[in-house]
Structure 1
C-alpha cells in the first residue's frame, strides 16, 4: 500500500500502478486479472515455496490423526493469513446458507415433473386384479413385505403420501450372516433363479444333443456307460465290434441330411425388426453347426423355432416332450400371469421332465434341467420374470462398455460418461412435454399411428415405412393371389359379421366341429362363399366391402426393405 492506494492487478496495469480501491475494482471488472499472478505476494500473501506447500498437503492428515488419538489440538493458535482476511472483508457480513431442502419436501419435488407425478398415482389408479400378476407388487412375496410395514396412505395429490416414523428408527438391521437378518426367515424366495441363463443352458443341452454336436452333446460315451448302472436302455447301450466300442444312433439324434435341412431353413429365415437378431450369422455352412449363439438367440429359438424344427424329424413322443419344454418357457415369460396357471404349470413341468428322462440318457440331466421345476413357484410369489431376469442388467453393462473411450482408464471413462448422461436424463424430466428428448422421442418403428382420412377399411389405414427403390414388377401366382385375398378378408374388422355368418352355416352342417377343423374349412371355402354372397346382394353391401370382394390386382411391385426386414412387401391394388 502507498498513501491508501494498492497495486492494480488488472491485465493492463500488471501491478505497476497504485490506484484507489474503487478504481482497482473497476479495472478488474472491465479488464480481468493479469496472467500468471497466482500468489498475491504484492498484496500481502506469503510465498512459502513448493516444498512447503507439498508439506502442507500431508500435515493436515497427520494432525487430524494425532487429534483423534489425543483428543486435543496440536497448535495453540493459528496465524491468520492477510489474504484470507481481505477475502472475508470483501464478502461482507455472514449469510446463513441452507444446504438442501427439508425432508418433508422430497415427495413434493416428485410432482415437479409431469412424468414422475404420473407414477405417484399408480397405487390408487392401477390396482391389480386378484389372481393376475403383471407387476412386481402383485407377487405374494412383495405383498407380505408391505403388510408388515406401517400403513402407507397413497393418494393422487402432492403431500398425500406420508410415512409415519420415517427416519426415527432404524429401517434395517444386518448381521454377519444371512440368517441373522430379521427378515430372512420370512422370505418366500431367498434365492432368485435367473431365467435367462437357465433357458440358455436348457436349450443348448437339448439342441446340441439332438444335433449330435461333437464335444457339446450330452449323449457321449460316458453317458452311455452309465446306462448299465442307472437303468436298462438296451437301444442306447454301447456295442463292440472287432475290439472297438461305438454307440448306436439314438432316436432323438438327427442324421447329416436332416441337420443340413435345419441349417438351410434357419439361414433363410427373417424376423421382424427388433424381434430377434440375425440368427443365420451363427451357422457355419462348412460343418453345419451353430456357433456363438447369444442368450436372446437361445430364448427365441427355444420358444418359437424348436418345436417347428423337429416336428417331422423325430418320433412324436420325443417331439411332444420338446414341445412341452418350449411351451413351458413361453407361458412363463408372459407379461401377465395367472396364479392358477402357475400352479398348473408347476405340475406340467414335472411331467415334461419325466418325459425327457425317458428319452435322454442320465448324463443329460444336470442342475439346469432340475431348476425349471422351481420357476413357477418363484413367478407365483415374485411376479413376472421381466422384473427379475438378467436381460436389463446385461444390456446396461453393454451400454456402459460402449462409453469407454480411454482403455487405460476404463472405470474413469465410464464414470465421466455416465455422469453426463445422468445429468441430461434428469434435466429432461423437467422440460416441456413438446420438447423432444431421449425420454419422449418417437419409437424406432413408429409408422405414425392409425390415420383414416379417406374412409378406408381398417386394414388399409396403416401407412407402413417401406423404403428402398421399387423393384421390377411381376404377376402373382395362384397361391400368392389366394393368400393375399384371404389375408385381407380375414383381418378386416368390417368382415367380422360375414365371418360369423359363415361359421354358423358350417356349424349347422357339421355338428360338433372343432375349432381347428373350422379354421381349416374357413381357409379353404370362405373366399368363394363370400364372393357368391356379395354377388346376390350387391345393393345391400357396403361399397368398400364390394370392392375388396374382387380381390387384389395380379401385377404387383415390391420393395427390398421394410421394418420386417428384409421381407418383401407386396403392394396390392
Structure 2
C-alpha cells in the first residue's frame, strides 16, 4: 500500500484518502478491537485505544506520526532484517514483536520521543533478532536483561564492556549484540528520563536559573559562577567548570510513567480499594492527618489517585573512608498511596534532587529545594493530565507533601527551628522545660512530671526529683497556623556570607515549605526520626552502665551538678586524702557485673540477617561495645538489653529500663489499636519520670526528651516504620555504590540512577526477569531442588502437637471470638477459677 500520503499536507485530498485507507486497514486487521485501536496521531503516539471516529478526527486535525510507516500495532507483520547473511540463507522469516515489548514502547511516553528517530530506532531494536534464526531474544530484550543483571550486581562500565565483547564473540557471526557499554546505553536512551543540571553559588546564595540564568557572578556575594584557575584574572568571565551544581530530576514525567504501567496504577489506589478498615491503624490513611486533608480539600481527597508524598533527605559521604569532609545531599520522595510493604521499597523511592558537596547546605537548603517545590505547588493548584493505564483514561493528577523524614539536625534545617539551646524541642517550643548544668556545661531537659495526669502521685514528690512539687501542665503543641504566624514576617537572606546579627527568636527562617498552600494546615509537618532517638538513648544507657569513657553520663561533673541542685546528697563526691571517691549509684555496675553483661552479649546467636554478629561487637578486654550500627542498637534495645540487665541491677532501676525497652518495642509495631495509644503515651511519661529518679540529670539530653512526643505522631501520621530513616539510609548506601568516578561523585550517582530507572521500567514488561527495587525473600530456593528423599522429616510428640495447635488457634484472628465466648462460659461455670 502506498504510504507517501503520510508526508503530504493535511488539507489535501491525497491525505484524506490515505487516512480512510488506514482506518479500513486497521479495522480489517486488528483482532478483538471492539471498535477501538491505538491512535497514531502525533499526540497519542499509539498509546491510547480510541474509537474510530475519534482517531479519524485526531489524524486529520493533528497529523499522522510520520515515523510510523510500518503499521505493526494495527495488524501488519514485519520482515526481520538480516545482517551479513549469505545468498543461500535469504529465505524470509516472519517475526512478531513480543507483547511485553510492544506495551513497553507505548508506555515510554511522548517525552522520550521528542525526536522522531528515537521512536523508530526503539521499534527497530524491538523487532531485530539477536542473530539470524534466534526466536527467543531480540536486540532490545537481550540488552535489557543484561543491563538488569549489571544493575543488580553493581558491575562497573568497564566490566560490562568486557562482557559484551565476550558475548558478541560467542554468538554466531553477524549478531547484533553491541560490543561496548556506550553502544548498549544508546539503545536505552528512549527509556531514560531527563534531568536538569542547574549551576549554584558555592556559598549557597542562589541558583543560576530564571532571572539569574545568564549571570557569571553571584548577585549576593559576588563569587564567580565557575571554577577559576590561579592564572585567571578576576575580571575574566570566561565559561568553564561550574563551581557547584544541583541535579534536578523532574517529578512530573516520572509520575506519568508510574501511572502508565497497569500494575503500578492499580497499586496507587490500594489505600481505597484494598485497605483493611477495622478501626486499627495500619497505614497513614487510617490516621487523623490524612482524614483532615480529605475533609478540608474534598476535590483532592475524592480521587484516590492523587498522591501523598513524603520527603526524605540527609547528608552522605560518597567517598566512604576515603574522605571525611565531603557531604552530598540527595532529596528523595516516597509515595504513601502504596501498600505499606511497598511504600519504602527501593523501586518506589524517587530521587528528585542531588545537591553536590563538599559542604552541606545546612540552613540554606531552601535554595536547592525551589525547583522541586515549584512542581509540587503546580501539582497542587493546577494539576497535570496523566494517562491511567489501569482504567485506560486520562485524569487530572494532583499531589501534596504529607510530611518529611529526617534526623534531628536536618529537622532544624528544613523547619527553620533552632534545635539547639534551651528551647530545643520544636513541639514544646517556648514550653520546653530545660536546666543549665553549672559543672557539666550542658543544657538538659528534665521535669517530665508536667506530662503526667494532674492527680498523679509523682507530682507531689520533692526529694525524689528536684526538691519541689510539680504544678504545671504539659505545653500544647503548636498547630501549623500558629507556627506560620510566628515565622511569616521573618526575612532571612540565605547564603554562607557574612554572619548576621544573632536574634533571640528560636525560629531562624520562614521555611520554603510554607510556600505550599496546605502546609500550615498540617498537624505534623516534620516527623521525629525514631531510629535516631532509639540509637542515641540506647547508646547513652550502654555508656552509662558500662562506664565507657566519653559516653557515660555519670562522672565527677555529674555528681557536682547533683550537689548544686540539692538532690541525692548521698552520691556527692567524697575526698579520701588526695583521692576523690564517687559513691556507687543504683546504676553503677561492678567489674564482675560488667563481665556478666558482656559475656551474655558475647554468647548471643541471632538468625542470619537479623542483625550484626553480636559476638564481634563485644570487647572483653575493656568490657565495652564497639562498632554498633543503628540497627544493632535497635535489636539491643528491644530484644537483648532487658535480658542482659536481669540479675545485675536493682529491681526499681531494672524495671524502669525494661519498661523503656518494651515501650520502644510497642511503638515499632505495624498495627495499633487507637485506644492503646493513650496507654502508650501515659507509659512514656511515667517511664521518663522513673528514669529521672535514678539517672543523673546529664542523661536527659534532647533525644531522651523527644520520647514524650513519639506516640502523638503515630496517632496523627501512622506507623513508625513508614517514617523512620532505616530504609532511607539503606537506600543512600546504594547511591554510594553508584559512585564509579571519584572526580564527579554526584554526576556518577545521577547517571547510574537514570540508567537503573530505565531498566526498572523495562523489567515490568519482560518475563523471567528479576525486579531490582523489590527484593525477594531470602528464604526462597533454600529447599527447592533437594528432592523428597533428602528432606528431613521430624516427628513431634503429642504434647508438642497440642502446644503448636493451641498457639495457632490463640493467634488466629478468625478464632478469637470463639475463644472469648468459651472463656466467658468457663468463667460463668467456675467463678472461683483464677483469670490466668
TM-score normalised over the length of structure 1:
0.58
**CA distances 1:200-225 after superposition (whole Å, capped 9, x unpaired):** 11111112111121221101111111
For the 8 Å contact 2:668–2:719, the answer to whether it is kept is: yes
Q: CA deviation at 1:367?
A: 1.1
C-alpha change, 1:161 and 1:337, in structure 2 (3 Å) is farther
C-alpha change, 1:446 and 1:180, in structure 2 (3 Å) is closer
Q: CA deviation at 1:396?
A: 0.9
**Counterparts of residues 266-285 of structure 1 (less than 5 Å):** 266-285=601-620
Partner-residue secondary structure (3-state), 1:491:
helix
Q: CA deviation at 1:227?
A: 1.0
Give the RMSD, CA atoms, in angstroms.
Answer: 4.2
Q: CA deviation at 1:301?
A: 0.4
Distance 1:338 1:285 in 2: 43
C-alpha change, 1:487 and 1:161, in structure 2 (3 Å) is farther
Q: Partner residue of 1:158? A: 391
C-alpha change, 1:363 and 1:397, in structure 2 (3 Å) is same
Unaligned 5+ residue runs, structure 2?
1-212, 216-251, 306-387, 400-483, 492-509, 811-818
2:716 to 371, 375, 381: 381
Partner-residue secondary structure (3-state), 1:245:
strand
2:554 to 206, 209, 219: 219
Q: CA deviation at 1:336?
A: 1.4
Distance 1:65 1:364 in 2: 54
Q: Partner residue of 2:226? A: none
Q: CA deviation at 1:128?
A: 4.3
Distance 1:320 1:224 in 2: 23
Q: CA deviation at 1:441?
A: 6.7
C-alpha change, 1:164 and 1:230, in structure 2 (3 Å) is same
Distance 1:154 1:186 in 2: 20
**CA distances 1:85-138 after superposition (whole Å, capped 9, x unpaired):** xxxxxxxxxxxxxxxxxx99987x656545314304414322443542211222
Q: CA deviation at 1:287?
A: 1.0
Distance 2:709 2:586 in 1: 29
Greater Rg, structure 1 or structure 2? 1
Mapped pair 1:229 → 2:564:
yes
2:749 to 414, 417, 440: 414
**CA distances 1:502-534 after superposition (whole Å, capped 9, x unpaired):** x99x9999953453xxxxxxxxxxxxxxxxxxx
**CA distances 1:395-446 after superposition (whole Å, capped 9, x unpaired):** 11111112222323322322232222111111112223x5444357742112
Q: Partner residue of 2:660? A: 325
1:490 to 786, 803, 809: 803
Distance 1:342 1:437 in 2: 38
For the 8 Å contact 2:619–2:625, the answer to whether it is kept is: yes
C-alpha change, 1:405 and 1:412, in structure 2 (3 Å) is same
C-alpha change, 1:123 and 1:496, in structure 2 (3 Å) is closer
For the 8 Å contact 2:271–2:285, the answer to whether it is kept is: no
C-alpha change, 1:397 and 1:463, in structure 2 (3 Å) is farther
For the 8 Å contact 1:199–1:298, the answer to whether it is kept is: yes
Q: Partner residue of 1:242? A: 577
Q: Which moved more, 1:124-133 or 1:309-318?
A: 124-133
Distance 2:781 2:805 in 1: 19
**CA distances 1:301-347 after superposition (whole Å, capped 9, x unpaired):** 00111111111111111111001111111111111122222222111
Q: Partner residue of 2:201? A: none
1:122 to 259, 270, 275: 270
For the 8 Å contact 2:684–2:708, the answer to whether it is kept is: yes
Distance 2:545 2:774 in 1: 46
Distance 1:65 1:310 in 2: 65
**CA distances 1:69-100 after superposition (whole Å, capped 9, x unpaired):** xxxxxxxxxxxxxxxxxxxxxxxxxxxxxxxx
1:146 to 270, 294, 298: 294
Q: CA deviation at 1:489?
A: 4.7
**Counterparts of residues 285-364 of structure 1 (less than 5 Å):** 285-364=620-699
How many residues matched? 382
Distance 1:294 1:354 in 2: 28
For the 8 Å contact 2:272–2:304, the answer to whether it is kept is: yes
Mapped pair 1:512 → 2:833:
yes
Partner-residue secondary structure (3-state), 2:653:
helix
1:370 to 693, 705, 722: 705
For the 8 Å contact 2:763–2:770, the answer to whether it is kept is: no
C-alpha change, 1:143 and 1:312, in structure 2 (3 Å) is same
Mapped pair 1:136 → 2:284:
yes
Q: Which moved more, 1:139-148 or 1:246-255?
A: 139-148
Distance 2:574 2:621 in 1: 30
C-alpha change, 1:487 and 1:204, in structure 2 (3 Å) is farther
For the 8 Å contact 2:558–2:698, the answer to whether it is kept is: yes
C-alpha change, 1:106 and 1:419, in structure 2 (3 Å) is closer
